[in-house]
Amino acid sequence: MKIDVIKPGALSQLQDLGRWGHQRFGVPVGGAIDTWSHQLANLLAGNTGDEATLEVLLMGPSLRFDTGTWIALCGGDLSPRIGAEAVPMHRRVWVAAGSQLDFGKRVDGLRTYVAVRGGFDVAPVMGSRSTFVRGGFGGFQGRGLRKGDVLDTGDAGTAPPSGASDRAFAVVPVPGFDVDPQVPSAAPGSVTVVRVVRGEHWDGFTAEAQAAFPEATYRLSPQSDRMGYRLEGPALARRQPGELISEGVTFGTVQVPPDGQPIVLMAERQSAGGYPKIAHVASVDLPLLSQLAPSQSLRFEPVTLEEAQDLLLERETRLAALRRVQQAFDESSP
């Protein structure tokens, strides 16, 4: 089946779990910045593998489906609707042939993941379907969507579920698939707590910086993107300035350039960097951080490495349980 891009939105790009295994060639991993929502969307749409989803930023696209199929919308709520009717987030949704999905006002979060049954059909580049816009490769022609693009999906089309034949879309419950969205509060003045573990260069920071780091409130700068989240707040000083030798960094590394304002490295980070690493965001909280919008605030809460890994293992166990629920449901459904 095909999907027509009627309107591209601010930045809509195909992403999967990333281009692993090529960092030693300087190729960023990239991939979905909110891997939790990306994976939930795939499961809800009925995909068993890591299919590409459409990562939609802030102002969503308008997409028209030429055939009936299954979709799911996860992550930040950007007021998705078909016709005049709101489409619920975090549910399995059947859309009829000819339906048009539009987005409206941001309710919370920053990015919505649109998964379609069978995934978006683009050729993998270096083992991944993720779009790397700065490199101009991967995903759909190495770029964000434009008006008039036509996306192929891996689904031939699906007949409507019972009772939905005259409807533009229908929500289909998947019993037992209860999701807990990781989206920061959009309430004015809210401060999102993001857990961190100590970085390799923690001891190189001044006592004042070490005291300020877990206490201070940082604001997400508008100069933030998929590569890095720039934070504005108390400057973090080192005991002895000086250049470090570039070494490995990862998704969530909190590095501090000479101006003292921390930068959290995100999905499209470089593979190595030379700024001191004061901390790393616990992987379990990266989805939450990735849904924080510019001008929103956050605070870092230190945890031990063991705690961070336990939390991540719990998250993986939860995902595995949801996968079993989805597979059992799809195997028992016609």
Partner 1 sequence: MTAFRIEPVGDCALLVGFGDHVDAGTSDRVHAFAHHLLDEPVAGQRDVVPAFTTVTLHYRPELAPPGTGSPYARMRAAVEARLAHDPGTRAGETRVFEVPVWYGGEAGPDLEDVALRCALTTAEVIDRHVRSAHRVHMLGFAPGFPFIGGLDPALSMPRRATPRTHIPPGSVAIARDQTCIYPLDTPGGWNLIGRTPLRLFDPDAAVPCLLEPGDALRFVPIDQAAYEDLLARQAGDAA
Beta carbon of residue 255, minimum distance to partner 1 (angstroms, whole number): 11
CB atoms within 10 A of CB 270: 14
Are the CB atoms for 305 and 283 separated by under 8 Å? no
Number of residues that bind partner 1 (CB under 8 A): 43
Answer yes or no whether residue 250 interacts with partner 1 by CB under 8 A.
yes
Q: Which of 7, 22, 81, 238 binds partner 1 (CB under 8 A)?
A: 22
CB atoms within 10 A of CB 321: 12
Answer yes or no whether residue 252 interacts with partner 1 by CB under 8 A.
yes
- Of residues 137-176, which lie at the interface with partner 1 (CB under 8 A)? 137-138
Are the CB atoms for 3 and 150 separated by under 8 Å? yes
Which one of the spans 43-51, 89-97, 233-241, 272-280 is the region binding partner 1 (CB under 8 A)? Answer: 272-280
Q: Which of 43, 174, 249, 278 binds partner 1 (CB under 8 A)?
A: 249
Answer yes or no whether residue 231 interacts with partner 1 by CB under 8 A.
no
Q: In whole angstroms, what is the distance from residue 167 CA to residue 82 CA?
A: 10
- Tell me which residue of 82, 128, 127 sits closest to 101, measured CA to CA: 82
CA atoms lying within 13 Å on the CB side of residue 220: 27
Q: Which of 83, 222, 248, 258 binds partner 1 (CB under 8 A)?
A: 248
Q: Which of 73, 197, 209, 292 binds partner 1 (CB under 8 A)?
A: 197
Length of the chain (residues): 334
CA atoms lying within 13 Å on the CB side of residue 334: 5
Answer yes or no whether residue 277 interacts with partner 1 by CB under 8 A.
yes
Which two three-digit tokens encode residue 195? 């857990």
| Residues forming the site for partner 1 (CB under 8 A) | 20-29, 125-126, 135, 137-138, 197, 199-200, 245-253, 270-272, 277, 280-283, 305-306, 308-310, 312-313, 316
